[in-house]
Amino acid sequence: MIPRTEITLREATPEDSPILARIHADAFRHAWTDGDFASFLSQNGVRALVAFHTGRVTRRAPAGFLLYRQAADDSEVLTLAVLKSYRRRGIAQRLVEETMRRLYHERVATLHLEVEAGNAAAVSLYRKLGFEEVGKRPAYYARDDQPRLPALVMRRDLI
């Protein structure tokens, strides 16, 4: 676990799209492009938090991000990614906790997300943070030349 003092979070801007695309490509088979992220971040209600490792050895290295959308009193995680070299260090948890904190202060009632059912680490994290399974989408995630995997639809009440 990286000490909290060595991870800084800030809100992303469209200029951060290349960073977000690079992290996303490291985490997912079907990566989103710079243009995808720039488009998302230019939409009303869409925001992202980006995490940087600021340790003694590393000088402000991008480590992960969370992209989310808010509409009225509801919100959803669009994607969450952490570079492979930074996984299992608490970064995803920090990103989700800070997102929930911000949404709570804006009086947003719920946060939804979808996660590949077989992603045990992510499912465990979300359950630890109080998310509950509220649905399932069969054959939702495509995999190269393999059967599609189901998605779990999860929800966390914030207020």
pLDDT one-digit tens code per residue, 92-101: 999 999 999 9
Q: Is the pLDDT of residue 56 over 90?
A: no
Domain extent listing, the chain? 4-112
pTM higher than 0.75: yes
Average pLDDT over residues 7-14: 95
d(CA 125, CA 144): 26
- The CATH architecture annotation of domain 4-112 reads 3-Layer(aba) Sandwich (3.40)
Average pLDDT over residues 8-18: 96
Residue 3 pLDDT level (bands cut at 50, 70, 90): low
Q: What is the DSSP string of 45-112?
A: TEEEEEEEE--SSSSSEEEEEEEEEEETTEEEEEEEEE-GGGTTSSHHHHHHHHHHHHHHHTT--EEE
d(CA 140, CA 117): 10
Q: Provide, rounded to the nearest whole percent, the portion of the chain with pLDDT above 90.
A: 82
Average pLDDT over residues 84-103: 96
d(CA 126, CA 81): 14
pLDDT at residue number 149: 85
Q: Is the pLDDT of residue 60 over 60?
A: yes
pLDDT at residue number 128: 98
Contacts of 6 (CB under 8 A, 6+ apart): 53, 54, 55
Q: pLDDT (tens digit, 9 = 90+) per residue, 29-41?
A: 889 999 999 999 9
Q: Is the pLDDT of residue 52 over 70?
A: yes
> CA neighbours within 13 Å on the CB side: how many for 83?
15
pLDDT at residue number 5: 62
Of 102, 130, 112, nearest to 75 by C-alpha is 112
Distance of alpha carbon 148 from the chain centroid: 22
Bridge partners of 141?
149
